Amino acid sequence: IGISTVPPRTMKILQKQWLETLGVCQYVLTFLFMGPFFSLLLLFLLFTSFWSVSVLYFVWFFLDWDTPNQGGRQFEWTKKLSMWKYTRDYFPIKLVKTAELPPDRNYVLGAHPHGVMVFGTFINFFTNVDNFRKEFPGIHTSVAVQAIFFHLPVSHDYFMSYGLCSVNRWSLDYLLSKAQRGQAVVIIVGGAHESLCAIPGRHCLVLRNRKGFVHMALRHGASLVPVYSFWENDVFHFKVFDTNSWQHLCQLTFKKIMGFSPCIFWGRGLFSANSWGMLPLARPITTVVGRPIPVPQRLDHSKEEVDHYHTLYMEALEQLFEDHKESYVVPASTRLTFI
C-alpha cells in the first residue's frame, strides 16, 4: 500500500508512534552512552586540528567540577522539550497525587524502585511534562543521583540542566538550606544496587539499611514523602544471577569501584515490538506520590530518632503500595519486600 493511500488519521497515529519510539530511543542512548561517547570524542579531538575545542571544554569542566556538589543548576527550557512528551506517551507514564505538599516547608522524596533506567522518576521529576508543577504548586524539585553522572564530560552539563545534583551531604544541605521554602529533594534511595533487583513481577527494595535520607530530613526538619512507580521493573527482561555466584560478586565489585552496577537486560527492537533490542517494553508506569510524614528539625538527632522515622517511612511506603497495587494490575497476593 502506497503512502498516498494511507488515511490521514492513520498516518498521524503512525507518525506519533514513531516519534514516541525515537523519544525513548534517545533516552536509552543518552543514559548508556553519552558520557563514554563524549569522553572518547574529546580525547580524539586533542590529536586533530580541533584540539582547542577539547582544551577549552576541559578547562570549563574542571572549573565547574564542584557545581553538582552545590545544588547543581537547571534550565526550564530543557525540561519542556517535546521529546519528553513523546517519551512519556510511549509507555505511557503518569503521575498520581494522593495528598497535598504545602509549599511552606521542605521535603525529602524517596523514589522507588530504581528499575533499570528510572523512567518514572525521570519523566515525573526531571521534566515538566507530567504536570508535577500543576499538581504541587510552589514545590521546586531537584533530583540527587550518583556522582558518576557528573564525572564525565558533556553528561556533566547535560544532566545538571534538568535539575540533577550529586547525592551527597554538601549538595543536599545546600538545597534544603535555601531561604525559599518548598524545596523537594528527590532521592532514589535504593540506588544502583537496587537495579540488580529489577526483576519483572517482583517488588524488592533496597531500603532496610538505607537511612542517610532520614538523617538529612532530621537535620533540616524536612517532611519525608514515599513515592512508588508501579511497573518500573517490568519494562525490560532481566538476567538474574544467584547471590553466591561469581557473576553477582563481579557486579557488586564493579559497583563499589564505579558507582553503578552492570546488569544484563533486554527489551524490544527499534523497528518491531516483537524483535530483540535495547528499547524498553511499552508498559504503563504510574508514579504515586504518598502523604508527607512530618519530621522535626534535630541538628543533633539520636540513632533512636533515625530508626523511628525510618520505620514510619517504611510503613507508609508499604501502605502506599497496598492501597494502590490492585488499581495498577498488581496481584492482590503481591507484597513489597525490603532488603
Q: What is the mean pLDDT of residues 165-174?
A: 91
The per-residue pLDDT for 69 is 87
CA 202 to chain centroid: 19
Residue bearing the bigger pLDDT, 172 or 252: 172
Residue 28, pLDDT above cutoff 50: yes
Crossing angle for the helix pair 82-90 and 8-45, to the nearest 10 degrees: 110
- Confidence band of 9 (pLDDT split at 50, 70, 90): confident
Residue 196 is predicted with a pLDDT of 87
The pLDDT value given to residue 98: 97
Percent of the chain with pLDDT over 90: 72
Paired with 187 in beta bridges are 110, 144
Arithmetic mean of pLDDT, 255-278: 83
The answer to whether position 185 is within a domain reads yes
96 in a domain, yes or no?
yes
Instruction: Note the pLDDT of residue 6.
Output: 66
Containing structural domain, residue 141: 3-326
Does residue 90 sit within a domain?
A: yes
Q: 20-30: buried (b, 16+ CB within 10 Å) or exposed (e) per residue?
A: bbebbbebbee
pLDDT at 306 over 70: yes
Give the span between the Cα atoms of 237 and 279, in whole angstroms.
11
Whether the per-residue pLDDT at 2 is higher than 70: the answer is no
Kindly state whether residue 338 falls inside one of the protein's structural domains. no
For the residues 277-303, what does the mean pLDDT come to? 96
Residue 92's SS3 state is coil
Mean residue pLDDT of the chain comes to 91
pLDDT at res. 207? 96
Beta bridge partners of 224: 108, 293
**Total domain count, the chain:** 1
Amino acid found at 75 = F
Judged against a pLDDT cut of 70, whether residue 5 lies above it is answered with no
pLDDT at 255: 74
- Counting residues of the chain whose pLDDT is more than 70, the rounded percentage is 98
Which of 33-42, 138-147, 257-266, 313-322 has the least mean pLDDT? 257-266
Does residue 4 have a pLDDT over 70?
no
In a domain, residue 97? The reply is yes
Grid coordinates of 133: 508543577
Tens-digit pLDDT profile for residues 240-251: 888 788 887 887
Question: Mean pLDDT throughout 47-71?
Answer: 94
Q: What is the mean pLDDT of residues 115-144?
A: 90
Domain assignment present for residue 141? The answer is yes
Task: Find the mean pLDDT for residues 194-210.
Answer: 92
Cα 195 from Cα 226, distance rounded (Å): 18
Residue 1's pLDDT band (boundaries 50, 70, 90)?
very low
